[in-house]
Amino acid sequence: MTKPTPDSNEQSKAKVTTFKLLVDCTINNGWLSDIEHRPSPHFTSREPAQDVSLLVVHNISLPPGKFGGPYITDLFLGKLDPRQDSYFEEIYQLRVSAHCLIRRNGQVIQYVSFDDKAWHAGVSDFNGREKCNDFSIGIELEGTDTEPYTEEQYQQLVCLVQKLQESYPLIVHNHLVGHCDIAPGRKTDPGEAFNWPYFKALLNKGIIDGTN
């Protein structure tokens, strides 16, 4: 399998701390243990009958193409300051969220319990079923459609999927999709930069132990 090539933007940055893989984490009452929790007000309770059966991969960067900083969290918490960047004037009133964000260095932040609906999918359809927020988990990768994602992000995403599949076994491998797949023509993320074959190959290995 071919590993993604780091982009020059990443290579030029000073070395940053990478976060421990999620292999030892557990999910309790919909929350991952041993990571940062920033509870968002942007969620809806999930009906018991709406079984979680889909995982949607997104990307986000704020301002667009810029990595680091508090702005993604600020957006999901409804606290984005429009004075910080002209782009924020267009989006600061949006009421959106995701269940988790995986940052470039592998840090994972959780905003919404997996047992609740995050507001990440919008108008969407999967296999003829609309309103994907009802039955999906949304994971944001800090990135853009065109810049390669980092090895740390792939590793953490695989670990996260493994943990989720333990608690939500209806999230089978063919129920792992991009936002572009459930909202074609409206959304393009995670974009051409996301290496689906590499991600699936890692996932099919079965275990990420932090040594590879």
β-sheet bridge partners, residue 140: 58, 101
Query: Phi and psi of 125, rounded to 5°?
Result: -155, 135
Q: Which residues contact 119 (CB under 8 A, 6 or more apart)?
A: 42, 43, 44, 95, 96, 97, 133
198 vs 33: CA distance, rounded Å: 27
Q: Where does residue 65 fall: left (phi above 0), alpha (psi -120 to 50 degrees), or beta otherwise?
A: left
Q: Which of 10, 36, 130, 140 is catalytic?
A: 140
CA distance 45 to 102: 23
- Residues with Cβ within 8 Å of 163's Cβ and at least 6 positions away in sequence, in order, are 22, 25, 26, 27, 32
**89 classed as catalytic:** no
Q: Are 121 and 182 in contact (CB under 8 A)?
A: yes
End-to-end CA distance of the chain: 13
SS3 content of the chain, % helix, strand, coil (to 5): 25, 20, 55
Q: Which active-site residues does the annotation give?
A: 140
